[in-house]
Structure 1
């Protein structure tokens, strides 16, 4: 692929309140699993760059933490990351859930969008859960609140109308260079992706028992003589009771989490993996700046 005359490129911020499907949308757009997906709100913590490249264009998507009222230092970090992503981009995708009424969280995001001088597209997700009339009412509610460049109803989960989002962005992006190599789909280090995969499996398996008081740090990663990749990771929780839940009876829960995470990691690395998981208690880690910095939550 050549990024000559006529080639378009640009950075696109994907914003919205927590749990509206931003990460699922980005995974559908780049047709790969890079961003952690869970039915829990606030699963994306770092601003993640994912790259879509074809013969005509390169779109650099910046997935952001859901914008919400922060309750601790980690929450403040997440909101700062989301708002910062609105600067120096060529376009913004504002993702909302069609099956939920516009609320204070959406209105807060809209207020941030008023400071933006680039095209903002309203992406109405989860249309597979809606009747047509209800969907139209939801769209009108948002259209009355902000002068969106365009509105695209989609189902990120079913990949409905995803191509229209890409085509729309291509029409609005300027001519520009190729910022990343053709085969690159994320700027995130492998260790960060691996830690997010493990965290996703914890959220999926523990449901409401473990909220967001978990973090995963990859302590060691090396290739063994037999070609397998050894990965040692620590799961941090805030209370002893949470540690017990993650380990489970006779270690069953931790074993299940490890099995599911290993399968995804092996697909990511294209090699056999030995995943060694440990669980440690770090009380109130989400309010400790030093701990947040250690775990990669840096501005």
Structure 2
């Protein structure tokens, strides 16, 4: 029996849109538990990725990108970021190494309220030959932190050092989840996210931001397949044709790509039945946001 105490706890993954948060979570977990896209603000929900080891369990909380909110949906996302910090043992603040080492006002507001140690994580260093973290951070006014941990989620460079730094800051506690779990999310949620990821990848301009996905029906074992009925919601009638495509081509391509990912996640053969519906201005309506699982802040929302 090892004399080294077991550690477990939570690490919040913070940063601007497209800083590489979801990619880092997937790399550390060793499996795809959070969707990724080249488009910013892909992550809308807090997603927990679980890293289990003989001596520790680290629960990574992937959060939406930190922005200045412009509608009720983004206000709800920023509220989710703030709520993620409660009970967190360490915060990983991701910053793109190809951008200046400076905090936006929205980032500063979050950083100033952190209840735990903060590690600064310059990302995508595989694209910056000879990257010098100390030089990058020099004189940048990054606020209080406990070290720079440059990483590449693509090559794996720096991941072991970052993981060790996180574990060092966890309390001595028993595991919080079964060691075989990779995430706390169920298959319905992961299926909806797989569909939304394909909408982000395959449609252009602002359309992905006006979409939400709900799995309405899930039936196992029909004809050897799992039947999944899901709806892609949009805000305007004029957007319907862009999602469906000429002769239904776009929605079929989205469905085929999402089905392959869902089958890999679930380990089952899947029949995916996609529908498209209009829910006018859903991003601005609190009742609709709650229907899609978001919790908008109270009027005047931001904590003082």
Q: TM-score, normalised by structure 1?
A: 0.93
Question: SS in structure 1 opposite 2:218?
Answer: strand
1:5 offset after TM fit, Å? 6.2
Task: Assess, with a 3 A threshold, how the Cα gap between structure 1 residues 255 and 292 changes in structure 2: closer, same or farther.
Answer: same
Tell me if 1:81 matches 2:86: no
Deviations 1:273-294 (A, max 9, x none): 0000001111101011111111
- Residues 117/289 of structure 1: CA separation in 2 closer, same or farther (3 Å cut): closer
Report if aligned partners of 2:125, 2:131 keep a CA contact under 8 Å in 1.
Answer: no
The residue number in structure 1 matching 2:27 is: 28
Cα distance per residue 1:254-281 (max 9 Å; x no partner): 1111111000000111010000000111
Q: Bigger shift: 88-97 or 223-232?
A: 223-232
CA-CA distance at 1:227 after TM superposition: 2.7
- Which residue of the partner structure matches residue 121 of structure 1? 119
C-alpha distance in 1 between matches for 2:252 and 2:116: 47
Report what 1:49 is aligned to.
48
Corresponding residue to 2:242 among 233, 237, 245: 245
2:127 counterpart of 1:132: no
Query: What is the aligned partner in structure 1 of residue 96 from structure 2?
Result: 97
Provide the residue aligned with 2:39 in structure 1.
40
- How far did 1:172 drift? 2.1
Q: Which residue of 2 aligns with 1:60?
A: 59
Per the alignment, residue 207 of structure 1 pairs with 204
- 2:196 and 2:25 map into 1 onto residues whose CA distance is 18
Superposed CA RMSD: 2.0
Assess, with a 3 A threshold, how the Cα gap between structure 1 residues 228 and 133 changes in structure 2: closer, same or farther.
closer
CA contact (8 A) 1:124 1:139 kept: no
> Partners of 2:131 and 2:188 in 1: how far apart?
45
Does the 8 Å CA contact 1:201/1:260 hold for their aligned counterparts?
yes
Q: Secondary structure at the match of 2:210?
A: coil
- Describe the shift of the 1:253–1:4 C-alpha distance in structure 2 as closer, same or farther (beyond 3 A): farther
d(CA) in 2 for partners of 1:42, 1:181: 30
Aligned residues: 296
Which of 259, 262, 265 is matched with 1:268 structurally? 265
SS state at 1:153 partner: coil
Cα distance in 2, alignment partners of residues 237 and 292 from structure 1: 13
Unaligned runs of 5+ in 2: 297-304
Secondary structure at the counterpart of residue 207 of structure 1: coil
The answer to whether the Cα contact below 8 Å between 1:209 and 1:245 also exists between their aligned partners in 2 is no
Cα distance between partner residues in 2 of 1:134 and 1:167:
21
Q: Is the 8 A contact 1:38 1:203 kept in 2?
A: yes
Conserved 8 A contact 2:66-2:78: yes
**How far is the alpha carbon of 1:202 from its aligned partner?**
0.7
How many angstroms does 1:150 deviate by? 1.4
1:141–1:108 distance in 2 versus 1, CA, 3 Å: farther
Equivalent-residue separation in structure 1 for 2:138 and 2:170 (angstroms): 26
Residue by residue, what CA displacement relative to the aligned partner does 1:30-71 show, whole Å, maximum 9, x if unpaired? 011110101111111111111110101000111111111111
Contact 1:49–1:188 (Cα < 8 Å) also in 2: yes
Q: 3-state SS of the aligned residue for 1:168?
A: helix
1:72 aligns with 2:71: yes
Q: Contact 1:5 / 1:175 at 8 angstroms: preserved in 2?
A: no
Alignment partners' CA distance in 1, 2:69 and 2:2: 41
